[in-house]
Structure 1
């Protein structure tokens, strides 16, 4: 039986929602909702903003469709990113609650007043900030919405343990922070693409004890001037990618992507002008990582991988890939296979 529950979202808004929510309009964080809500969550979607997920991670989406065919019947309400998000479609889906990312809530602004007028509560969560506090809070909110607080708590505590372990070991080591650069390699080696300042990969680098060389130049995300990068001399470089890429040289990582393909593309980035003189390239500390696992509680595995890249001796015992795949085994109905994290040397983990 559903009952009124007061949920305090990540913005501190107190929202009354009937829980467990029977008709959820899901704006973002698709896998986190599924992981916390379990099998029942797939049957309680009134609508979904799925375009970004399907475009960037088509192979993973197809796996979910094969496992949960009811997803094919869920209306798509459009995307905030390309301004196709339709309040009319949201209203037509008759949700009990609309679940939005913080950035979606801010972008939609006054348009959300129409949902309030219709008596539809809006709850905001945020994994994009990549902070421990918001990751844990967002997971617990999902537990409230789906009436799975114990499952949410288990997931949140496991994440907290990963972050705490990394931070404690780094603090105890009393060593200088290695310099790190992270870039979304969607444009290939010929053109610098997004790097990250104080959120997403940038915030993750800070959490695991890295000195993010982009932080002084980039607020959230944007490009860094090549000369600034070369002058910063990063010790570690991460190139992020999805399965779905346009350029044959772009960083391609993820479901069904073979390791030799990832390695070939990764080596292409090391041929950029001036990169042969960077410490990261000289010392073979250049890595490919799966961008699809960010903005999610599942980025615990990426945090481990980043920590291991920065401090190989401190974290030799960690198995980030096992952490990633075990999360699916424990909480989700699909079993990914492919390349999700890889070093420039084939034996690097």
Structure 2
């Protein structure tokens, strides 16, 4: 009898302990109990990557991706970026100023260097010990060998790398990239809200383009980074060129460049005499470059665009003769705002069919809904 009496409490204790562990040991994203939670994703380069879930610290190897990350993550995003390159500060100083003005601590984020100028410091990244390094597919095209070397060294150090894509196939992969950001940070619902907004805007443009009849306008688009004396790169069926095609334009660069981004000769441009010219501007420090962005006024944008319009031979081009020269913020070539570029291009290509579309208002709305900084400046521009 004594043995039975002592056995009952022991069995009860075992049952209670079992129930406690059953409740607390639920499997979540590849982790159990006290083990570190992980998630495995396929990134935009087609790589299978396993990393900590949710990501709490990251290094941005294109700091202009701050717009996407801050939109997806929301409150507290600034404390999660523990390292980045100098792209935001040097090429988008206007946006950098807006972020730092509101989040002063961002001025102290360590610069880990860049792949495109061989300043990338792997040791510095390893010392920061981020949960993930964010890179972009375009880095394979522009900085292929440096990117492969960086990947090998980061892999050796046990630091995962996730690739996004807002450039190679922008109007297809941008939403996928946003969902990927949401997935690794545990902000999937917020990311989906952005994707839904994006899809609503682009699908509206696509459905209206299907009804447009007649010949497509021929289009030339140039990165106005170097100033009017030196022609900047144009785009085949990639980046800006891909958006031109989706907006119903006939890109004069595509037959020559295919899916590359290179400079076209002035002779070719003048001989082609496109119907539309689009120049991309930014807050570049290069003398003579087209100035656009959050801190650029209409007067500044016009005064810096005029020397381009006055290039030799341009007075004979259809776009200039018919006053169809436009400017757009260059950052929209590599970020989520490419849907605004689609709106602007469709309006410029088919002004009657899209006369009710206002890309600037769309930008303001997106900022109100998703961005931590306010809309300002000149980001979409009609020269005439």
1:4 aligns with 2:19: no
Pairwise CA distance, 1:343: 0.9
Pairwise CA distance, 1:9: 0.8
Aligned to 1:94: 129
List aligned pairs for 1:47-196, cutoff 5 A. Answer: 47-49=83-85, 51-104=86-139, 106=144, 107-196=146-235
Task: List per-residue Cα deviations over 1:284-342 (Å, max 9, x = no partner).
Answer: 11011111232111121121111111111111111101111222222222113211111
Aligned to 2:76: 40
Pairwise CA distance, 1:275: 1.3
Cα distance in 1, alignment partners of residues 44 and 351 from structure 2: 34
Aligned length: 343
Conserved 8 A contact 2:166-2:173: yes
Aligned to 2:10: none
Cα distance in 1, alignment partners of residues 382 and 371 from structure 2: 27
TM-score, normalised to structure 1, is 0.93
Aligned to 1:230: 270
Q: Out of 358, 369, 373, which is 1:319 matched to?
A: 358
Task: List per-residue Cα deviations over 1:73-114 (Å, max 9, x = no partner).
Answer: 322111111111111111011111111112336442033223
Aligned to 2:48: 14
Pairwise CA distance, 1:239: 1.0
1:263 aligns with 2:312: no
Conserved 8 A contact 1:197-1:203: yes
More displaced, 89-98 or 216-225? 216-225
Cα distance in 1, alignment partners of residues 326 and 169 from structure 2: 20
**Unpaired segments ≥5 residues, structure 2:** 1-27, 29-35
Cα distance in 2, alignment partners of residues 35 and 207 from structure 1: 25
Aligned to 2:8: none
Q: Out of 61, 66, 84, which is 1:30 matched to?
A: 66
RMSD of Structure 2 on Structure 1 (CA):
1.8
Pairwise CA distance, 1:46: 2.5
SS in 1 for 2:277: strand
Cα distance in 1, alignment partners of residues 383 and 356 from structure 2: 20
Q: Which has the larger radius of gyration?
A: 2
Conserved 8 A contact 1:75-1:93: no
SS in 2 for 1:124: strand
Q: Out of 225, 248, 254, which is 1:215 matched to?
A: 254
